[in-house]
Amino acid sequence: MSILGFSASDIVNILQLGISGVAFVFLAMSYTLLRKEQEREQEPRDKMLSSIRHFSILSFVFAILVAGIGIYDNKTQVSDSIPVLCQDALDRAEVLSATKSDHNLDTLHELLTNTISSCK
């Protein structure tokens, strides 16, 4: 059985991707509906074109929603990936390393050691 040129197992695999899979299937369905309507021998039906337009807009909204969720999720993961103590240690190390003339090898080693221990 073929749906939109994909096998049923392909569709199931695509839908397992979540809302991004649904958005893809909706966009593919919009394209297929529009292509079928254009292939008709008679004039395209206005009511059908209107329905396809609404379906395409909904599909596009889903695609934008997927992109927005992806961007938000990436920003959230980046900000959550560094613990607060580690971030504090990195900030402190950045401030201390700005004064290069005040450091020797021992103080830089101690700065790195303290930063690494805070980030474990």
pLDDT (tens digit per residue) in 56-114: 888 788 788 878 887 887 776 655 555 566 677 777 777 766 766 666 767 777 777 77
Among left, alpha and beta (phi > 0; psi -120 to 50; other), residue 4 is: left
The ranges assigned to domains in the chain are 1-80, 82-120
- 7: β partners: 2
pTM of the model: 0.47
- 2 vs 98 pLDDT, higher one: 98
- pLDDT at residue 40 greater than cutoff 60: yes
d(CA 84, CA 70) in angstroms, rounded, equals: 24
- Tell me the per-residue pLDDT of 41-67, one tens digit each, with 9 for 90 and over: 888 788 888 888 888 888 788 788 878
Q: Please, which contacts does 80-87 make with residues 24 or more away whose CB atoms are closer than 8 Å?
A: 82/119, 83/119, 85/118, 85/119, 86/118, 86/119
